[in-house]
Amino acid sequence: MALRAALFDFGGTLLDLESDRRARAASYDALVRKLDLPMKGSEMFDAFSVLIEPAWAKADGAGLSLKELTRSAYFEVLPSLGLEPAEKDWAWFWAAYLSLHKQLLTPRPYAASVLTDAKGLGLHVGLLTDVDNDFLEMALGATNLKDRFTAITTSEEVRRTKPAKEMFLTAVQKAGCPPKQAVHIGDSVERDVRGAKAAGLRTIHYAEDACREADYCVATHQEVSKVLAELRGKA
């Protein structure tokens, strides 16, 4: 059955994760300077990560928000350092976090071209991401990808995160086609490949390491475009 929709993951697939890491590091450097603390920004980064990363890894589809996880860590880490943060302090940090990401985020090479190729094939081009809405709005502007999607589906909207079926089925519903006529392109085996396949979509694993569970494994955006063209031409 011919392909009608291409649904893309964001972080790691279209967004360069190294630029995201640099932006997060800069955010914690800024926080240490703001509080005039006798520690490195990397140490603050690690203190937050110890709380955030396990919670995110264990989410397994639950409607977690990275912003709320970061906020929770903020009000746990700072008191452990003898500080008494107020809501206005958190508001400052999150604004700084978004501002620094806006300055430093970059797309992966050829991210824009693969989206253009997908649209050129007449496909519904969707974005399917666990990123919070305010972060995504900023990130799409920073990477100049904002106007390249037919529809966007976020975990904040669905109240679930990948690999939950609800995420993929909501995105497919926006495309107006059955799951078997959609393909999901993502870099995570668990969240993208397994989640999409469980919802009945075809899958493209975008990573250097081959994934036997995916229908297609590719290492470049040019290869993604080639697979989309092949699927689009199938009757």
Query: For the whole model, what pTM was predicted?
Result: 0.92
Q: Which alpha helices (H) appear in 81-132, and where do they start and end?
A: 87-104, 111-120
Whole-number Å distance between alpha carbons of 15 and 10? 6
Mean pLDDT of the residues in the chain: 93
R_g of the chain computed on alpha carbons: 19
The predicted structure's pLDDT at residue 62: 67
Ranges in the chain, pLDDT < 70: 59-63, 234-235
* Backbone angles phi and psi of 183, in degrees to 5: -130, 140
The predicted structure's pLDDT at residue 234: 58
The predicted structure's pLDDT at residue 63: 67
Whole-number Å distance between alpha carbons of 198 and 142? 32
Whole-number Å distance between alpha carbons of 179 and 199? 7
Residues 105 and 142: beta-carbon distance below 8 Å: yes
The predicted structure's pLDDT at residue 235: 41
Prior bond of 179 cis (ω within 30°): no
The per-residue pLDDT for range 79-111, each reduced to its tens digit, is 999 999 999 999 999 999 999 999 999 999 999
Whole-number Å distance between alpha carbons of 48 and 68? 12
DSSP state of 191: I
Sign of dihedral through CA atoms 142, 147, 152, 157? positive
Whole-number Å distance between alpha carbons of 46 and 56? 15
Delineate the domains of the chain, giving CATH numbers in brackets.
Answer: 5-16+106-232 (3.40.50.1000), 18-104 (1.10.150)
